[in-house]
Structure 1
Amino acid sequence: MRINKALAAAGVCSRRAADELIASGTVLVNGQPAEPGMQVSANDEVTVEGRAVALPLGQRTTFTYLLCNKPRKYVSTASDPQGRRTVLDLVPAAHADTRLYPVGRLDYDSEGLILLTNNGELTHRLTHPSHHLPKTYRVSVAGPVSEKQLQTFRAGMTLAEGDKVAPVGVEIIKGARNGGDSTLLEMVLIQGLNRQIRRMCRDVGLEVKRLVRIGQGPLKLGSLRPGECRLLRENETTALLRDSGLAKPGKD
């Protein structure tokens, strides 16, 4: 099997990303830098950035999809140099031996839906700017929110750092008119800028008190409790692969 296809099948990354890793010299086969297009077998020892990779050669690749409700104070990476807890610490024991990766990021102080999988091609699709699925958030902000602030979000804006933000769908779920303590907003984003909601709110004078992702594409957080994970249902997997362009449209 070609090395890039083998790395994708192992859940390391997409084929395109594998080609980039190979070009960077961080993929070794039997201790030597891998070459583009080279073939590998089950007898070869493959490492990526110093970590051994088990290649699922000669067997059908089985992908795992876990929906996780990330609590606050967890990082959404596979490891953390500061020793903080990661979303992989939430993976049930039954899937502890599966090489899972978080799809995208969710801030340390944010909560909610994050997908964990060993499908490298899907991970690439869902994190690439051209394939972002809409993400839905419930955002609690201090005090009332004006119509002018809502219209700024809906029209699109340029952040203080210079990043341009596409129009955001936003509605007031529970208002804090007349000097109330907080307002609950529902926001739908089609971009994946770093800390986008917090920066948007900052720039219109709103303080974020709590931020929870409740949906991504066809996936919904539902009643899943903080810290819990569950396997995607068959219809959810079908819809996710379809919406990400990895399966033909059809009935679930």
Structure 2
Amino acid sequence: MRIDKYLAHALNVGRTDVKKMLKAKRVQVDGQIIKDGKFQVTEQTVRVDNRVITYQENFYYLLHKPQGVVTATKDASQRTVMDLFSAADYRADLYPVGRLDKDTTGLLLITNDGPLGHKLLSPKKHVAKTYLATVAGELTLSGLERLRTGLELKNGEQTQPAQVQVREQDPKNEASLVEITIHEGKYHQVKRMFAAISCRVVELKRLTMGSLSLPADLPPGAYRPLTDLELAQLKG
């Protein structure tokens, strides 16, 4: 790999910045000062200002999405999930895997690993996603059974069977707490599924995606890198 590409990716800077580093004789490979951006790097030790630079191809972050931000890389008028990243961690090639509505909270994977993102979103993979929904309206046994066996949405789309567990049920039908796991990703699917049984989702939080779970100690708006175990399980 060319040294200018290596440093631009590893340091998350532009090629112009790298060119200035090279010209200023700040870059060394195995102790040799390098000024040519075309210099090929294989397994040598690369240093900038005598600091060893380690190359990392892909990055993986688990983010606890708060309410009020949109799931996008950029938006002209609204704050996005990428605006939650510090300047040190932000990279232009990072993107959110999947989408949570502006008012939906919970687990969101941020990465620059395109193949993994495609795998997790592919309808053929049926990656499970678990949500905790605060629901208003009467939760009948027949309505819950329809969720569990698959139902027809108001636009005629058919859903796959979901796993549904009622954690708390309000006898006055003001706000019941329901855990629901789906294996597909239709637009506003969870909200539309409950609407199909005459209920309304008041709050929605994603707890899991595939093997990933939202850590109890990760507050809304915060993020952290995936652990080696989390990444291995996710890829496996």
Q: What amino acid sits opposite 2:64 in the alignment?
A: N
Equivalent residue runs for 1:193-204 within 5 Å:
193-204=186-197
Measured in 2, the distance between the counterparts of 1:146 and 1:183 equals: 11
Measured in 1, the distance between the counterparts of 2:147 and 2:228 equals: 35
Match in the other structure for 1:207: 200
Match in the other structure for 1:153: 147
Offset of residue 162 of structure 1: 1.6
Q: 1:240 to 1:165 in 2, by over 3 A?
A: same
Is contact 1:168–1:189 with CA below 8 Å preserved after alignment? Answer: yes
Is contact 1:159–1:203 with CA below 8 Å preserved after alignment? Answer: yes
Offset of residue 79 of structure 1: 1.5
Equivalent residue for 1:77, pick from 45, 63, 72: 72
Segments of structure 1 that go 5 or more residues without pairing to the other structure are 2-9, 11-41, 44-56, 243-252
Q: Does 1:91 align with 2:85?
A: yes
Offset of residue 180 of structure 1: 4.9
Is contact 2:59–2:113 with CA below 8 Å preserved after alignment? Answer: yes
Measured in 2, the distance between the counterparts of 1:117 and 1:232 equals: 10
SS in 2 for 1:167: coil
Offset of residue 93 of structure 1: 3.0
Measured in 1, the distance between the counterparts of 2:92 and 2:211 equals: 24
TM value normalised by structure 1: 0.70
Count residues in correspondence. Answer: 189
Is contact 2:72–2:80 with CA below 8 Å preserved after alignment? Answer: yes
Equivalent residue runs for 1:9-88 within 5 Å:
61-81=56-76, 83-88=77-82
Q: Percent identity?
A: 35
Measured in 2, the distance between the counterparts of 1:58 and 1:129 equals: 38
Match in the other structure for 1:111: 105
Is contact 2:62–2:108 with CA below 8 Å preserved after alignment? Answer: yes
Measured in 2, the distance between the counterparts of 1:172 and 1:94 equals: 42
Q: What amino acid sits opposite 1:168 in the alignment?
A: A
Segments of structure 2 that go 5 or more residues without pairing to the other structure are 2-8, 10-36, 44-54
